Amino acid sequence: MNARKHIRAFLIVCSLVVLLQPLQGLPQQNSDASKTKRDGQHDFDFNLGTWKSHISRLQHPLTGSTTWFEMEGTVVVRKVWDGRAQLEEIEADGSSGHFEGLTLFLYNPQAHQWSMNFANSNDGTLGQPTIGEFKNGRGEFFDQETFNGRTILVRMVWSDITPDSHHVEQSFSDDGGKTWEPNFVATLTREKQVAAETGTQPASVVKRSLFDLIGRTPIRTHPTSNSRSRMMAARLGKSTGSRTRRGCQIKLTRRTEPRCIPARFAFGWRSVLTLR
């Protein structure tokens, strides 16, 4: 009888060892997986800059509608938090009217995922964030929203990414993700590429300020009696000098090579500028 008890106890112990052996490796496997998780904080770096956007929008999503309207717009994206976040401003016009939007991109370093938080200027509130990541050069982001009183899934896809262009598509699903209906399609081309094709300068170059041209020179201004003076440009061939024209006077001391300085910000003022 005692022998049977010992044998039974031995078999139970052996069974537990066999069952628990695979579980012992799980913590190590999970740890290894977390260590090899790809860091995606630079996945949206391609999106930085100024873009021309051609937008197509479905007029009535999830109704069987096939009526689309077109818009042409500009998208400006700048980085925040040293690239761990981005702020995107969208402005577009078309037959449906004027459209302004803002998207805040945030990177979660623990989840290794990005979230996109969109706000329309019409209501000024951030919507439900779409969350996802990039795999093999394609980004997919999802969220759940209420649309026309029904709960739907939303998918945003970023694809066809090159240094000077990319494609963005939004789709809705009202059957749990079995089928998707696109309702927003945007093709973006970097502004410098548009300039090369049309022979025009990008707005970001044309609209440089006085501080861009003279290296952020400090300006001290004093009003003069002639407040309707015109803009003027001064080019100096020596280290110091001055120019006076129609009530405007600009005195400069330079340590760099001569350059042309527009005085549009000195309109109706006497300005003293020092180049450092």
User: How far apart (Å, rounded) are the C-alpha atoms in residues 183 and 195?
Assistant: 29
Q: Using the predicted structure, report yes or no on whether residue 144 has a pLDDT greater than 90.
A: yes
* Residues 215-254 pLDDT 10s: 444 444 444 444 444 444 444 444 444 444 444 444 544 4
Burial 33-58 (b: 16+ CB within 10 A, else e): eeeeeeebbebbebbebbbbbebbbb
**Widest distance between CA atoms in the chain:** 121
- Domain ranges in the chain? 45-198, 208-274
pLDDT of residue 136: 93
SS3 36: coil
Residue 51 CB partners (closer than 8 Å, separation 6+): 74, 75, 76, 77, 188, 189, 190, 191
Strand pairing report for 240-245 and 97-108: unpaired
pLDDT of residue 185: 98
* Residues 90-140 pLDDT 10s: 999 999 899 999 999 999 999 999 999 999 999 999 999 999 999 999 999
Beta-carbon neighbour count of residue 261 at 10 Å? 22
DSSP 227: T
Task: Give percent of the chain above pLDDT 90.
Answer: 54
- For 45-198, CATH gives 2.40.128.20
Kindly report the pTM of this predicted structure: 0.60
Torsion sign across C-alpha atoms 134, 138, 139, 145: negative
Higher pLDDT pick, 235 / 86: 86
Strand pairing report for 240-245 and 233-234: unpaired
Token duo for residue 168: 């963005």
Q: Using the predicted structure, report yes or no on whether residue 7 has a pLDDT greater than 80.
A: no
User: How far apart (Å, rounded) are the C-alpha atoms in residues 247 and 228?
Assistant: 8
Task: Give percent of the chain above pLDDT 70.
Answer: 57
3-state secondary structure 149-211: CEEEEEEEEEEEEECCEEEEEEEEECCCCCCCEEEEEEEEEEHHHHHHHHCCCCHHHHCCCHH
Look at the block and give the residue holding tokens 């809705």.
172
- Backbone φ and ψ for 14, nearest 5 degrees, come out as -60, -40
Beta-carbon neighbour count of residue 97 at 10 Å? 9
Is the Cβ–Cβ distance between 74 and 91 less than 8 Å? yes
Q: Using the predicted structure, report yes or no on whether residue 170 has a pLDDT greater than 80.
A: yes
Token duo for residue 275: 């180049």
User: How far apart (Å, rounded) are the C-alpha atoms in residues 37 and 39?
Assistant: 6
Q: Using the predicted structure, report yes or no on whether residue 206 has a pLDDT greater than 50.
A: no
Task: State the pLDDT confidence band at 66, using cuts at 50, 70 and 90.
Answer: very high
Q: H/E element holding 75? A: strand 68-80
Burial 177-189 (b: 16+ CB within 10 A, else e): eeebbbbbbbbbb
Task: State the pLDDT confidence band at 265, using cuts at 50, 70 and 90.
Answer: very low
CA–CA distances in Å: residue 21 to residues 10, 31, 32, 275? 17, 17, 18, 75
Q: Using the predicted structure, report yes or no on whether residue 198 has a pLDDT greater than 80.
A: no
Task: State the pLDDT confidence band at 276, using cuts at 50, 70 and 90.
Answer: very low
